[in-house]
Amino acid sequence: MVEALDLSRLDNLFEKHQGEDGALIPVLQEAQNIYGYLPEEVLCYISRMLKVPMSKIYGVVTFYAQFYLNPRGRHIIKSCQGTACHVRGAKGVLESLTRELKVEPGETTKDLNFFLETVTCVGTCFLAPVIMIDKDYFGKLTPKRAVVALKKYI
């Protein structure tokens, strides 16, 4: 049985951004921090409270890479594919992770433990090639060492 979402957790967001121009994106960002992703019910509630049509909200959440409409895993793996990382073997690191986790970027593992995604540049280019798992950085990786980094989170 699926639990109903507690939408009241959003209420103080609307209070906080009351009367603010351009509040949609900050509200979506903070809503995603609460639920981990943006369920449809949450988007509908935001639409009603901010008086913004669902079509516009859908346009915004599908435009920006930061927003997810599906649940993600317990741990978020970001494999940097920026230029400095690319030149130092980021592609091999990513392939190693997709092989090990048996998911493609943008997917969650079956046990819901990991969500794998690519990002272009987290700004720590001296660590190239780098991955982030949640807020932790793992740098100067090889395809093999990337898999070793996952162990801490299993």
Partner 1 sequence: MKRLFSIEGFLGFQKTLFENRDPQRLRVRICMTGCRAYGAEEVRKAFKTTIDEKGLAEKVDILETGCHGFCARAPVVTIDPQGFFYQQISPRDVPQIVQTSLIKGKPSEKFLYKDPQTEYPIPLEKDVSFYRQQMKIVLRNCGQIDPTRIEDYIARDGYLAFAKALSSMSPEEVIEEVVRSGLRGRGGAGFPTGNKWKFARNAQGDLKYIICNADEGDPGAFMDRAVLEGDPHTVLEGMLIAAYAIGASKGYVYVRAEYPIAVNHIKKAVDDAKAMGLLGQNILGTHFDFEVKIKEGAGAFVCGEETALIASIEGRRGMPRTRPPFPAIAGLWGKPTNINNVETFANIPPIIHKGANFYASLGTEKSKGTKIFALAGKINNTGLVEVPMGITLERIIFDIGGGIPEGKKFKAAQTGGPSGGCIPASLLHLPIDYDSLAAAGAIMGSGGLIITDENTCIVDMAKFFLTFTQNESCGRCVPCRLGTKRMLEILQRITEGTGELSDLETLKELAPMIKDTSLCGLGQTAPNPVLTTLNYFLDEYKVHIEEKRCPAGVCKALIRYQINPETCTGCGVCRKACPQKAINGRAKEPHILDQSLCIKCGICFNECKFDAIKII
59 lines the binding site for partner 1 (CB under 8 A)? yes
Paired tokens of 109: 């593992």
49 lines the binding site for partner 1 (CB under 8 A)? no
Note whether 70 and 59 are within 8 A (CB).
no
CA distances from 13 to 31, 43, 50 (A): 8, 13, 11
Q: Under rule CB under 8 A, which residues in 126-145 are in contact with partner 1?
A: 126-128, 130, 135, 137, 139, 142-144
Per DSSP, the residues of 78-144 read EEE-SHHHHHTTHHHHHHHHHHHHT--TTEE-TTS-EEEEEES--S-GGG-S-EEETTEEE-S--HH
Stretch that binds partner 1, among 5-13, 36-44, 85-93, 105-113 (CB under 8 A): 85-93
At its nearest, how many Å lie between partner 1 and the CB of residue 18? 14
Note whether 17 and 23 are within 8 A (CB).
yes
70 lines the binding site for partner 1 (CB under 8 A)? no
Rg, the chain, Cα only: 18
122 lines the binding site for partner 1 (CB under 8 A)? yes
150 lines the binding site for partner 1 (CB under 8 A)? no
76 lines the binding site for partner 1 (CB under 8 A)? no
- Which residues make up the interface to partner 1 (CB under 8 A)? 21-26, 28-29, 52, 56, 59-60, 63-67, 81-89, 92, 95-96, 99, 119-128, 130, 135, 137, 139, 142-144
